[in-house]
């Protein structure tokens, strides 16, 4: 299976790293699927297998490079996810690389009145993360919202991890976000709660949650909001089976 990636989105601890990503390196690859996301790079991977590091390169305009919180930071310790897709934005089932990481500051080299190249290396810090699938492209909701179900073909007894990125939220609201599982896909009362995120949606941030037990064949995310009518939250969730 080859993925000709038209879309690459990098989420770093609640911040969406905007810009044109023109190079993505996945270290310690295996040969099961080829990711031909860019003309000058081909990477192979096995979904759910932990990797050592992700190298990430791209371009931002000068104004974004001077103001972006991630680029201004000295170091980052937390969740990083790289969404790959063949559409304008990631869709349910698209491959995602997610991990709990440690990273030094981004480095930038301005090109006057043109672009600001940025580069960083995200190194895993002891969790069994790696390749998974997107349960939700970043989306906005105002009340109870349920994401589309993902059919994984069979249940898994080895557990899983999910990664939540809150990209936009109202400080006056609170949010409850869970992962639901269903053996039948009906989600008509037979579903169970697989994971619960404790991260409050009032701040931009990311969280990793895990479940070491059996994961049903079908999974989806569900979120509720309490607060002023009309306030929105923008989230992204990825799911890694072990």
Cα(158)–Cα(29) distance, integer angstroms: 22
Same domain, 187 and 118: no
Residue 57, domain CATH: 2.40.30
Cα(164)–Cα(179) distance, integer angstroms: 10
Tokens of 106: 């981004």
Same domain, 52 and 71: yes
Per-residue pLDDT of the chain (242 residues; tens, 9 = 90+): 345 556 778 898 888 887 777 777 777 555 556 666 665 666 666 666 666 677 888 788 777 777 888 887 777 888 999 888 766 667 888 888 898 888 877 777 777 667 778 888 888 887 888 889 999 878 788 788 899 999 988 998 999 999 999 988 888 888 889 999 999 999 999 999 999 999 877 778 999 999 999 999 999 999 888 877 778 888 899 999 98
Cα(25)–Cα(116) distance, integer angstroms: 19
* pLDDT confidence of residue 67: 81
**What domain range includes position 222?**
135-241
* pLDDT confidence of residue 34: 66
Number of domains in the chain: 2
Contact 179, 239 (CB under 8 A): yes
Same domain, 145 and 230: yes
Residues 84-104 as b or e (16 or more Cβ within 10 Å = b): bbeeeebbbebbbbbbbbebe
Q: Which DSSP helix (H) or strand (E) runs through 128?
A: none
Phi, psi of 65 (to 5 degrees): -65, -30
Same domain, 61 and 74: yes
Domain boundary among 68, 99, 130: 130
Contact 238, 49 (CB under 8 A): no
């Amino acid at each position: 299976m080859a993925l000709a990636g038209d879309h690459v989105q990098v989420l770093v601890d609640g911040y969406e790293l905007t810009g044109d990503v023109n190079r993505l390196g996945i270290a310690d690859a295996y040969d099961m699927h080829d990711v031909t996301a860019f003309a000058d790079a081909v990477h192979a991977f096995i979904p759910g297998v932990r990797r050592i590091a992700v190298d990430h390169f791209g371009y931002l305009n000068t104004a974004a490079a001077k103001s972006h919180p991630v680029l201004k930071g000295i170091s980052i310790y937390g969740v990083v996810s790289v969404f790959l897709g063949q559409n304008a934005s990631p869709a349910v089932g698209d491959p995602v690389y997610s991990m709990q990481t440690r990273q030094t500051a981004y480095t930038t080299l301005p090109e006057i009145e043109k672009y600001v190249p940025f580069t960083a290396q995200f190194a895993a810090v002891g969790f069994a993360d790696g390749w998974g699938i997107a349960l939700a492209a970043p989306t906005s909701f105002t009340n109870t919202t349920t994401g589309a179900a993902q059919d994984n073909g069979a249940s898994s007894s080895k557990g899983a991890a999910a990664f939540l990125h809150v990209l936009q939220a109202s400080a006056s609201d609170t949010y409850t976000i869970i992962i639901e599982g269903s053996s039948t896909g009906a989600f008509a009362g037979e579903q169970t709660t697989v994971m619960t995120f404790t991260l409050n949606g009032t701040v931009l941030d990311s969280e990793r949650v895990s479940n070491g037990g059996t994961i049903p064949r079908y999974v989806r995310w569900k979120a509720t909001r309490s607060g002023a009518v009309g306030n929105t939250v923008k989230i992204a969730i990825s799911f890694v089976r072990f």
